[in-house]
Each structure stands twice: as structure tokens, then as C-alpha cells.
């Protein structure tokens, strides 16, 4: 029921006007979203790079239904790539296939993504092209995203990779397929609410699957990204790499912007490569609400991680307060809805 409440709030124009006009809520969003403009994103890149942290940029938006929206997303992706090269920041790009038109027409989406990859190739510094990662969305997109990745690689694009979700039961087979393809992979737990026939419902099973996949990736992958804030899994990764003689520079940890900044810095100081996933754009309100709706426990996770680290600036307490208020608003909606 909380999931339904959060989804309803994400579609509420009245709530969006209320939340986006509320200074505390905007400060909360700025904790987890770099801002609304490309300039905001570049400023976040420079600040993170100054701390020794690399970046992957995500222009917010997904599941577009109009070609003009997908074309605009493709044009923005190219602007991001050009800004990365112009500013000289250590960053790459993450794209959601549904934002690039996958639900409209698969050929149209392929052409849209290929234009972005071609520009990323042109902007290479002579030694390395700018890398573009195709984000993984719900299980409804898994086959199509992997197929899209494979088609792009077979077309000659070597600067493309994708994401695998540990909680999906199918992922070991998908991992073998992608390893044969030779693409860079990001491993995540998975945040979408899926049927138990498709995904492991228990955290212990998800964690176990993640560690098994991580071990394969570290040994056989091409500069894989271990994307997690789970300190037990991070420790398991460090231990496995040490025992197997895998260099710290042969993989990277990835974490979300604004989450466990203390842990990001600690890993970097220990000599690990760390990349921060930095979303930006005007669609921050539905983005945050849908992320919470995909798995309502994310609300506790986000608030808990703000509390666990010592606030590094004035936004910390405001972020906590706004996060709590978001939870209260969702609970209030559920309570009043079920009294009718």
C-alpha cells in the first residue's frame, strides 16, 4: 500500500507543486540530485573530481512515449558528452533505454543511442573513447536492453556497457552472455519490485547472489563496477580481490550521489577507484518518488544513510527532515485513503 501511495504522489501535480516549491524539499533533492541544469551537473563533477572521485552522469527521465522527447534526450546526452570533454572532468555517461525511445520503436531507439555513442567516440582523447552505460530498468526491459547492447557492440561500438541486477534469478546466464561479448558491466542489487518467480524476495538471497556474481566479474570482467553501499559486500569484494591478487585499479566501486559520502572517501583514500552516479535534471521530483515507490524500504535506506554519516554541510539536517516529511506524507495519504 505504501508503494501505491508513493506512486500516486509521484503523479500528483498538486503534490509536485507543493514539494518543488518547498525549500526544505528542494534542499533534500539537492542532496541526492546534482541540480536541474547541465551547469549544475558539471559543478558537481568538478567538486567530486577534486576529492579524487570519478562520475557517471544521468540526465533524469524515462519511459518516454513521444519521439520528440526521446530525440531531446539524445541531444542532451550529446551535450553532456561535449561538456565532459570541454570541462576536462573525469566522467562518463549513463543512459536509460526507455528514455531513448525503447518503448516507442526498437530501431528508433538503436539509432538514437548509436548517435550518442558515435559522438562519444569522436570526442575520445585519442586513447580512450567516452564510455556510455545503458542502465537497466525493470525486468520488462532486461531482454531488450541486453539485445540493444549486443547489437551496438556487433556494430563496432566498444564504448558501450550495461548493468546487471543481482536479484534477478536469470542474471548468472546474462552475465555469461555479456562476458562473452566483452563489455564493461555494472553490478547492482536491483531496486524494482518484481515477482518472486523472477527475483529473489529475501535480502540474504540477493546478497548471496551478488557476492557470487561479483567474484566472477572481478576474475573475468573488463573493468567491472561494483555498485553497492553495503559494507559487508564491499568488504567481501576487497577480501576476494586481495586473496586472488586482483589489483585495486582493475575495477571500481560505484555509489549514488549523496549516499555514504564518508564511505566513498574512505575507499578512495585506501586506493580504490570510486565513481559516483550523479543524476540531474528537472524531473527530480518524480525521479525521487518513483525510486522510493520501486521499493518503499528505500525511504528508510535513504534517511538512514543521511543519519549514519556525519553531515558534511548545512544541507544534511534539512535533507533528513525533508526525507522524514516525505514518509509522513505517504503514510498520511495511505491512512486517509483507507478511511474513505
Q: Do 289 and 269 have their domain in common? A: no
Q: What is the mean pLDDT of residues 248-265?
A: 94
Q: How many domains does the chain have?
A: 2
Q: Do 177 and 238 have their domain in common? A: yes
Q: 59-79, pLDDT tens digit by residue? A: 998 889 999 999 999 999 999
Please identify which of the residues 103, 135, 174, 207 carries the catalytic annotation. Answer: 135
186 catalytic residue (yes or no): yes
Write out the residue range of the structural domain in which residue 17 sits: 1-33+284-340
Q: 118-166, pLDDT tens digit by residue? A: 999 999 866 689 999 999 999 999 999 999 999 999 999 999 999 999 9
Q: Do 187 and 305 have their domain in common? A: no
Final residue before a domain boundary, out of 280, 308, 323: 280
Q: Do 128 and 230 have their domain in common? A: yes
Q: Do 214 and 230 have their domain in common? A: yes
Q: 203-248, pLDDT tens digit by residue? A: 999 999 999 999 999 999 999 999 999 999 999 999 999 999 999 9
Q: Do 236 and 323 have their domain in common? A: no
Q: Do 80 and 28 have their domain in common? A: no
pTM of full prediction above 0.75 = yes
Question: Residue 180 has what pLDDT?
Answer: 97
Question: Residue 29 has what pLDDT?
Answer: 73
Q: Do 160 and 265 have their domain in common? A: yes
Q: Do 302 and 209 have their domain in common? A: no
Of the two residues 140 and 306, the one the predictor is more confident about is 140
Q: Do 226 and 340 have their domain in common? A: no
* pLDDT higher than 60, residue 323: no
Q: Do 103 and 239 have their domain in common? A: yes
Please identify which of the residues 31, 119, 186, 290 carries the catalytic annotation. Answer: 186
* 7 band by pLDDT with thresholds 50, 70 and 90: low
∠ CA 307-238-53, rounded to 5°: 60
Q: Do 43 and 26 have their domain in common? A: no
Final residue before a domain boundary, out of 263, 280, 297: 280
Strand-pairing partners, residue 56, are 92, 277
Amino acid at each position: 500500500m505504501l508503494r501505491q501511495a508513493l506512486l500516486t504522489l509521484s503523479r500528483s501535480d498538486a503534490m509536485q507543486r507543493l514539494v518543488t516549491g518547498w525549500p526544505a524539499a528542494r534542499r533534500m533533492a539537492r542532496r541526492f540530485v546534482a541540480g536541474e541544469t547541465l551547469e549544475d551537473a558539471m559543478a558537481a563533477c568538478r567538486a567530486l573530481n577534486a576529492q579524487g572521485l570519478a562520475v557517471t552522469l544521468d540526465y533524469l527521465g524515462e519511459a518516454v512515449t513521444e519521439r520528440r522527447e526521446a530525440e531531446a534526450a539524445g541531444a542532451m546526452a550529446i551535450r553532456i558528452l561535449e561538456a565532459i570533454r570541454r570541462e576536462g572532468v573525469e566522467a562518463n555517461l549513463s543512459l536509460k533505454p526507455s528514455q531513448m525511445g525503447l518503448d516507442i520503436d526498437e530501431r528508433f531507439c538503436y539509432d538514437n543511442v548509436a548517435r550518442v555513442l558515435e559522438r562519444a567516440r569522436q570526442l575520445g582523447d585519442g586513447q580512450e573513447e567516452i564510455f556510455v552505460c545503458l542502465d537497466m530498468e525493470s525486468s520488462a526491459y532486461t531482454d531488450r536492453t541486453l539485445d540493444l547492447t549486443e547489437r551496438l557492440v556487433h556494430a563496432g561500438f566498444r564504448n558501450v556497457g550495461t548493468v546487471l541486477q543481482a536479484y534477478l534469478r536469470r542474471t548468472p546466464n546474462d552475465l555469461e552472455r555479456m562476458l562473452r561479448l566483452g563489455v564493461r558491466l555494472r553490478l547492482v542489487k536491483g531496486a524494482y519490485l518484481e515477482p518472486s518467480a523472477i527475483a529473489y524476495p529475501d535480502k540474504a538471497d540477493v546478497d548471496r547472489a551478488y557476492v557470487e556474481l561479483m567474484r566472477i566479474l572481478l576474475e573475468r570482467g573488463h573493468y567491472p563496477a561494483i555498485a553497492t553501499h553495503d559494507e559487508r559486500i564491499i568488504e567481501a569484494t576487497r577480501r576476494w580481490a586481495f586473496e586472488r591478487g586482483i589489483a585495486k585499479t582493475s575495477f571500481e566501486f560505484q555509489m549514488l550521489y549523496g549516499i555514504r559520502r564518508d564511505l566513498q572517501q574512505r575507499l578512495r583514500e585506501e586506493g580504490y577507484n570510486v565513481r559516483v552516479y550523479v543524476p540531474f535534471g528537472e524531473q527530480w521530483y518524480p525521479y525521487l518518488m518513483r525510486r522510493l515507490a520501486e521499493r518503499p524500504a528505500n525511504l528508510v535506506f535513504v534517511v538512514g544513510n543521511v543519519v549514519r554519516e556525519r553531515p558534511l554541510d548545512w544541507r544534511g539536517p534539512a535533507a533528513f527532515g525533508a526525507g522524514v516529511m516525505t514518509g509522513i506524507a505517504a503514510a498520511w495519504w495511505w491512512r486517509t485513503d483507507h478511511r474513505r
